[in-house]
Amino acid sequence: MDQLIGDFSNHLKKAVEIGNSTSFRKPSKPISSVLICGLGGSGIGGTIISQLLKFDCKVPIVVNKDYFIPEFVDSSTLVICCSYSGNTEETLSMYEAAKTKNAEICVISSGGAFGEIANKENLNFLQIPGGFPPRAAFGLSFPQLIFVFEKYGLISNKYLKSISSAIKLIDDESENIKTEAKAISQKLFHKIPVIYSESTYEGVSTRFRQQINENSKMLCWHHVVPELNHNELVGWRNENQDLALVIFRSKEEYYRNSERIVYLKEVINKYTKTIIEIFAKGEDSLEESLYLIHLGDWVSYFLAELKGIDPVEVDVITGLKNLLSKLD
């Protein structure tokens, strides 16, 4: 896992090569909505991209993590099916439902059943290298979503430029990121992380939570500003030094949300002394997101190291998949 995390910028570079070399046919009609289908490590990119593009994409973006799709999907909907293995049963189910609606379907996958479907049905298909745990292939899969939106004319190419800038940033900051991640993991060891961020970065927080779950084998939760100020903040009433607050911070924060964060720190400091602020680096929200994701991945790895556990192992998920494979 350490090698896979260390290869993050190389994966981003490879993803850009794949995206640039993939030809797309034009849709039969203008796109009026986007549905992104995917779960787990394959689906987190959809959550992140939907938040990053919300002020630039002119059509609504809905992220779906289920067996079924929303009723609004029709022939003018772009349905993006994200399955790293190509065999995710929920995503295959969503594909079949989208097909009956005559939706415009695009696939991001390493192959498997989706690879066969994409080739047979002549779908727009961004194929990425296989053989990794899906969560470790984020650098390969996430940029393909940006290419999809750009190739369908839904966004400008500024996001592709930001990926190139993010690659340089991550390479330049590589050792500093690992040093900071080690220090953070020491503070989170034997703690339950509570992850907060501004709403634009909720997908980044979700990614960090998932990496803590899968790599570090720990429970944690996340919430966002300003919503948490209307509910969860009231729940901080009892001292619990087993909790550790992690706050992702950004230069892009809305000033009123910055003041909310100052206030919540003052409140929460009464109940736990472990409050960690992680300040993103980068010139825009995409660069900052990729920086925070890479740092968070390292934190999850170093936590696994401190616990003496294998960050790759996910036997309980494999067991569930084996059970489901026996059902009709």
d(CA 75, CA 35): 12
Question: What's 125-149 look like in SS3?
Answer: EEECCCCCCHHHHHHHHHHHHHHHH
Q: Is residue 264 a contact partner of residue 245, using CB atoms and an 8 Å limit? A: no
11 is catalytic: no
Which candidate in 26, 29, 273, 321 is catalytic?
321
Measure the CA angle with vertex 52, ends 199 and 63; round to 5°.
85
Which candidate in 120, 230, 266, 326 is catalytic?
230
Which candidate in 214, 253, 287, 288 is catalytic?
214
Strands (E), 153-208: 192-198
Residue 124's CB is within 10 A of a number of other CB atoms, namely 21
Cα of 29 vs its chain's centroid, Å:
29
Q: What single-letter DSSP state applies at residue 230?
A: G
Per-residue tokens: 122 = 């002549």
User: How far lies 220's CA from each of 44, 195, 281, in Å?
Assistant: 17, 8, 24
Q: Strand, coil or helix: what is 193?
A: strand
Note the helical H segments in the chain.
2-6, 8-21, 40-52, 89-100, 112-120, 138-151, 158-172, 174-188, 202-214, 232-235, 255-268, 285-307, 315-325
Nearest to 206 by CA among 140, 138, 271: 138
DSSP string, 247-304: EEE-TT--HHHHHHHHHHHHHHTTT-S-EEEEE--SSSHHHHHHHHHHHHHHHHHHHH
Per-residue tokens: 120 = 């047979």
- Provide the sign of the torsion angle of the four alpha carbons 235, 240, 242, 248, taken in this order: positive
d(CA 128, CA 42): 12
321 is catalytic: yes
230 is catalytic: yes
Q: Which residues are catalytically annotated?
A: 214, 230, 321
